[in-house]
Amino acid sequence: MQFELMDPPPKNRAGIGHLFLVGGFAESPVVQNAIRNALSSKLRVIIPQGVGVAVLKGAVLYGLDPSIVFARRSRKTYGI
């Protein structure tokens, strides 16, 4: 698997120490291994249990109480 950066990496990575891998592709061992191999020396890669249902859980919580969601996405994201 090859990575292609859409934007140049920030010159100052101060404060960036963790990468949270969530969503459907986060369940793929191929994706997990490729990301760990490419980035684990630079950041701590965290893959929570049940990553595939994270979006579903958020949708259910939002349906029950829309005020629970105060931000729609992180300031910095990357999609595959």
Residue ranges covered by each domain of the chain:
18-68
- Does residue 79 surpass a pLDDT of 90? no
Own/partner long-range contacts of 48-53 (Cβ < 8 Å, ≥24 apart): 48/20, 48/22, 51/21, 51/22, 51/23, 51/26, 51/27, 52/23, 52/24, 52/26, 52/27
Q: What is the pTM of this model?
A: 0.56
Q: Give the per-residue pLDDT at 77.
A: 63
33-55 pLDDT tens trace: 988 888 888 889 888 888 778 77
Q: Which residue has the tokens 């994201």?
A: 77
